[in-house]
């Protein structure tokens, strides 16, 4: 049985919130809108979904609500990573019991890990999981990088199916493809590197851009898969200004501001995140208008 979870674009979905808590009414509408736009998959309670500031009860309720609202219309992927491996295992088992199609598991942050520790952690989580795992490497946020040789070891573990690679180092990503690209599905974790990673054989992107431009993000992948590499690359460069604006402050601050400007959530993020600086927000809004999003 293939372990492929999705091909194309999975939106790393923001979680609508207010000061009172998660805004489930708008969350449901946002999920519906993404699916209506034709998105290939949804990631719930990841980095963009502010999973790190959801308490345990909220995290489980967000996962439950989203899975039920998605209702099998597209593959559902749950963010279940933690720097506490036992907690990551607990969340992973919960998401598997709900029926999620895959789990996005980030490397441990703050306590970091040796490469040996990463292998041991992912093995422990994979052994507890009933569904395939996407390893999430984002060293700019976690302080630890998964080396290509480590991926080769992780690829030997049943249930380790894929990688969301956001290390930004194309040379390391090429080495990853060389050592494990035939055993792991590889997704871009950076919207500005979709086409380069597809060109190496990547399966798609787990995207922040698609929170506000799902059709356009999918067109980047669709054109590439259809053989129109030049058209795909042209779209990638056309949307580079918006991609950069969505990352001019730490994610998901700009993404939340953008989705709020579209009327689909309140512009509210939890501490230690704060609202987008006004000058940056104005620039983001201007770029969104230039692209016809607003």
Q: Which of 122, 151, 164, 239 is catalytic?
A: 164
Distance in angstroms (rounded) separating the CA atoms of residues 206 and 138: 12
Q: Which residues contact 198 (CB under 8 A, 6 or more apart)?
A: 188, 204, 221, 224, 225, 232
Indicate if 164 belongs to the active site: yes
Query: Residue 7 — φ and ψ, nearest 5°?
Result: -130, 130
Distance in angstroms (rounded) separating the CA atoms of residues 103 and 162: 10
Q: Which of 67, 100, 136, 239 is catalytic?
A: 136
Query: How many angstroms separate the Cα of 47 from the Cα of each of 31, 50, 57, 72, 207?
Result: 17, 5, 18, 23, 11
Indicate if 283 belongs to the active site: no
The catalytic site residues sit at: 136, 164
């Amino acid at each position: 049985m293939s372990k492929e979870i999705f091909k194309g674009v999975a939106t790393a979905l923001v979680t609508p919130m207010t000061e009172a808590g998660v805004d489930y009414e708008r969350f449901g509408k946002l999920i519906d809108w993404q699916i209506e736009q034709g998105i290939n998959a949804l990631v719930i309670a990841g980095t963009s979904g502010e999973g790190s500031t959801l308490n345990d009860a909220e995290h489980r309720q967000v996962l439950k609500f989203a899975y039920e609202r998605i209702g099998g219309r597209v593959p559902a992927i749950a963010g279940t990573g933690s720097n506490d491996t036992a907690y990551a295992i607990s969340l992973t088992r919960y998401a598997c019991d709900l029926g999620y199609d895959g789990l996005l598991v980030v490397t441990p942050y703050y306590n970091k890990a040796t490469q040996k520790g990463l292998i041991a952690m992912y093995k422990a989580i994979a052994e507890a999981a009933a569904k395939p795992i996407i390893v999430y490497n984002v060293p700019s946020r976690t302080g630890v990088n998964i080396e290509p040789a480590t991926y080769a070891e992780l690829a030997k573990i049943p249930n380790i199916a894929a990688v969301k690679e956001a290390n930004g180092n194309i040379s390391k990503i090429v080495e990853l493809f060389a050592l494990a690209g035939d055993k792991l599905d590889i997704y871009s974790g950076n919207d500005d590197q979709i086409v380069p990673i597809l060109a190496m054989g990547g399966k798609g992107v787990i995207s922040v851009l698609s929170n506000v431009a799902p059709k356009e993000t999918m067109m980047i992948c669709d054109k590439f898969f259809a053989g129109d590499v030049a058209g795909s690359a042209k779209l990638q460069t056309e949307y580079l200004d918006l991609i950069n604006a969505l990352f001019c402050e730490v994610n998901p601050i700009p993404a939340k501001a953008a989705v709020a400007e579209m009327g689909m959530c309140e512009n509210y993020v939890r501490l230690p995140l704060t609202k987008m600086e006004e000058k940056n927000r104005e620039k983001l809004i201007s770029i969104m208008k230039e692209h016809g999003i607003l």
